[in-house]
Structure 1
Amino acid sequence: MGVQKLAVACRVLALCLATIEATNPGFVVRITQAGLDYAHQHGIKVLEKELGQLKLQDISGDFRILRVGKVRYEISRLHLRSFQLPHSYISLVPNVGLQVSISNAFAELDGNWRVKVYFIQDHGSFDLKVENVYIKIDLQLGSDTLGKPTTDTSACSTRISKVRVHFSGKLGWLYNLFHGAVESRLRKLLETQVCEIVAKAVRRELQPYLRTLPVTAKIDAKTGIDYSLVAPPTATARSLDVDLKGEFFSLAHRSAVPFSPLPLALPPDHNHMVYFGASSYFFNTAAFAYHAAGALVFNVTEAVIPKGVHLNTTTFSAFIPQLEGMYPNTPMTFRLSAPSAPFLSIGPQGLSLQPVVDVQAYAVLPCSESVPLFLLSLTGNVSAVIDVRSGHIVGSLDVGRIKFTLKQSNVGSFKVRQLQSLVNTIASAIVIPRLNERLNEGFPLPLPERIQLSKILVRFHQNFLMLGADVRYQPRG
């Protein structure tokens, strides 16, 4: 029994360790204070617009005034002329979320009043000025079951220091006798409804906008990308960090990635509004997904090679003399495939990989049957240039000298080195341009809608690529 319990405990421990390891992000987004300030500017405009539509309910009551007696009053048709938020700022609350503080806000209202004292009735209008309004809003950040970001108001408080009411009409002097009580009721009414408007604005405006972040996206006909949150956003003293899965997958069959992301820690750089950290895991899952989808296979025929080069046994007999005797003047094709997904490395000097490619040569007989001739194994140093364009990571590859060996031959032995120039031509003129064509289309960054990037920074670190940028929000036209 002790052995069984130990085995169960080991399994549980292994599962826990695997879970902990799986929480490492493949992609990190950091929003700096400058980015939060920019977002805050647009958020305050939205809140100001929402508060400008504030509807206040009618109020009524009774008051007893010395030497006057019981006074019945009604205040109705409260109309908010403006609600201004001139001073506000957003701050990070480490391990909690965000806090928005608004000070010296003010509002102006008008409305109608009606009063009854014994058998005397009168009515008129009034002006209301609300000054020194202080609002504090705490925003709690999280993620839902789909890995989308969430936000809600965890706390809200409103304090109004000054409310001034001026009544007009024949009995305006009477209202001014108990304006303090009326002002107190209006102050409490406003303080309550301001926080209600704030909560509604967060739920109606901010939360739906955050959900425009594409946590999964189809890239092309073969692959997709997973940007779901692996943990709720984390507020630090200087930034808001969001850990994303950052994983490519095959649309036809999504299988578990046979490797795990390493810890990714962005350097303390805060000169831009937003930073993206793309780990080597992120790029290697792309290679894994395209390989699993069968996209790393290239068929080379005479139709796709440069003009003047004939892909047949006559051409290759200069390197393999026996070919002409075995298959005289016969068309040839090549099938290039990666036996495994290429593994990419990122270091301070840049991004590189050493792919292994199998090249299978065929003779195409008159009956359209393809006969295998020989199989080469190619290795080469490939470097990459990375940039950002239109919210996409784009790139291009450059291949260095290619080394190859003969893995199998159905036509006897031959000097492989003599094929060097022809193999280089196939790689540089056909394979690399096809890959660069796809890389030029790029892969989307995890951005909510209507966000454009500018002042792009690209830096390489050990095991990850860091991108910095400023952002600009494009309102609907």
Structure 2
Amino acid sequence: TNPGFMVRITQAGLDYAHQQGIAILEKELAQLKLPDISGDSRVMRVGKVHYELSRLRLRDFHLPYSRITPISNVGLQVSISNAFAELDGDWRVKFLFVRDHGSFDLKVENVYIKISLRLGSDAAGKPTISTSDCSTRISSIRVLFSGKFGWLYNLFHSVIESRFRKILEGKICDLVTKSVHNELQTYMQTLPVTARIDAKTGIDYALVAPPRATAQSLDADLKGEFYSLAHRSTVPFSPLPLAFPSDHDRMVYFGASSYFFNTAGIAYHKAGALVFEITDTTIPKDADFHLNTSIFSAFIPHLEEMYPNMPMKFRLSTPTAPFLTIGPGGISLKPIVDAQAYAILPDSSLAPLFVLSLVRNVSAVINERSGHIVGSLDVGRIRLSLKNSAVGSFQVRTMQSLMNILTSNVLLPRLNARLNEGFPLPMPDRIQLSNILVRFHQNFLLLGADVHFQPK
């Protein structure tokens, strides 16, 4: 299934996300709880020694070097090298008839951690992430004991260091797995599968396949389909393949297909949202006319006789959902609009007068604002034709200028006001976009951006 909407996170975007994740992991590792250690060891010329190490406190844990790599058809790999930590604690010793205690410092150096992350999707179409593999290797542990019998501990430090190494290596991977589940997976779940646009429509952003890693990026294919909240039905056409370019200057790229925008037209048409009424009260005050039968009698001879000086109303609607095309030159559409004219009678009832068919070339300007796709329309000259008339035949071309004013000064501002509110992009919580790039390609709009994450 081809996606209606596509998201690509480039290596730059993965690096930025990785920085945020490493900062969280570093804080969590610094709070790692270590168990007390006790045991017996035989020391030359001393004999059997019983030792206890307790109140182990990690002072810090640093992850200075790390990188994230997408592995094609597998997922993501995080490699951490030269990590180091320091901790301290208390020791207690018993041998022969001697008992003593003191403190110790421990330095952990050259820690190497390799984490493999598996990407998937759940039944609702949300992304999932889990740890498929984790390994930790600690090259150097040094323990320094202080106190009266500190020298004794230093005689069998290798036993202590070996136990510390085994405990730490296991604890680090346990914490990584827990952090991926509690922090990263929980955060991924904030990505909306459906986005309610208004009282009539929503967008389906469910994954149509698990996210896939390539050598240079992480790609997610989304359904990208508008739907009517009142009555969702199958779209009568399918999305075309998206020939995504290999751009990598931005952290993230969004690909909104012509399918995505055209399902918006279908959803709003089915919801009855593409119906507009124009009356005299909606005409700008600086216009030099009033919407009544007197002004139209100049074009329609019988109108003034049948409905003398009565207010009028136009009801504009689309007989079919508007259909747009996207190409390298931009977005264009040629909607057909029916304009039903009425005379408003003294008792407020409506008398049908005539129906005009309006065809107009429309182009769109698209941008991003506050995580939303926003836009505005620009229109060309209207072509008019008469569909039917209850007031006799007349030359519609004589009404050209008047209908241009009605659509440009009344209808267009309403449409642009709605488009200016925008439609939300599929993003998890606390993400801001900047350095926006907008490009048009065959059958889709490409929107590139850099990302800023706002911590809690």
Pick from 345, 356, 363 the counterpart of residue 376 of structure 1: 356
Pick from 214, 225, 232 the counterpart of residue 203 of structure 2: 225
Please give the secondary structure, in 2, of the residue aligned with 1:49: helix
Given the two structures, how large is their TM-score scaled by the length of structure 2? 0.98
Unaligned segments of structure 1, at least 5 residues: 1-22
Identity of aligned residues (%): 73
Please give the secondary structure, in 2, of the residue aligned with 1:352: strand
Counterparts of 1:50 and 1:202, CA distance in 2? 11
Match of 1:260 in 2: 238
- 2:303 partner letter: L
How does 1:198-209 map onto structure 2 within 5 Å?
198-209=176-187
Counterparts of 1:43 and 1:277, CA distance in 2? 26
- 1:115 partner letter: V
Pick from 90, 113, 135 the counterpart of residue 113 of structure 2: 135
Match of 1:312 in 2: 292
Counterparts of 1:306 and 1:120, CA distance in 2? 100
Match of 1:44 in 2: 22
Match of 1:89 in 2: 67
The alignment status of 1:161 with 2:139, answered yes or no, reads yes
Greater Cα offset, 116-125 or 304-313: 304-313
Match of 2:342 in 1: 362
Unaligned segments of structure 2, at least 5 residues: none
How does 1:445-456 map onto structure 2 within 5 Å?
445-456=425-436
Counterparts of 1:86 and 1:339, CA distance in 2? 63
How does 1:328-367 map onto structure 2 within 5 Å?
328-367=308-347
Alpha-carbon displacement from aligned partner over 1:59-94 (angstroms, at most 9, x marks no partner):
111112233211111111111011110111111111
Counterparts of 2:307 and 2:43, CA distance in 1? 118
Match of 2:452 in 1: 472
Alpha-carbon displacement from aligned partner over 1:211-232 (angstroms, at most 9, x marks no partner):
1111211111211111111111
Please give the secondary structure, in 2, of the residue aligned with 1:303: helix
The alignment status of 1:415 with 2:415, answered yes or no, reads no
Structure 1 position 311, deviation (Å): 1.3
Structure 1 position 123, deviation (Å): 1.1
Pick from 368, 383, 388 the counterpart of residue 403 of structure 1: 383
The alignment status of 1:241 with 2:219, answered yes or no, reads yes
- 1:151 partner letter: I
Aligned-residue RMSD, C-alpha: 0.9
The alignment status of 1:29 with 2:7, answered yes or no, reads yes
- 1:219 partner letter: I
- 1:462 partner letter: Q
Alpha-carbon displacement from aligned partner over 1:428-476 (angstroms, at most 9, x marks no partner):
0111110000011111111111111111110000000001111111223
Structure 1 position 249, deviation (Å): 1.1
How does 1:69-108 map onto structure 2 within 5 Å?
69-108=47-86
Alpha-carbon displacement from aligned partner over 1:174-232 (angstroms, at most 9, x marks no partner):
11111101100000000000001111111111111111111211111211111111111
- 2:296 partner letter: F
- 1:205 partner letter: E
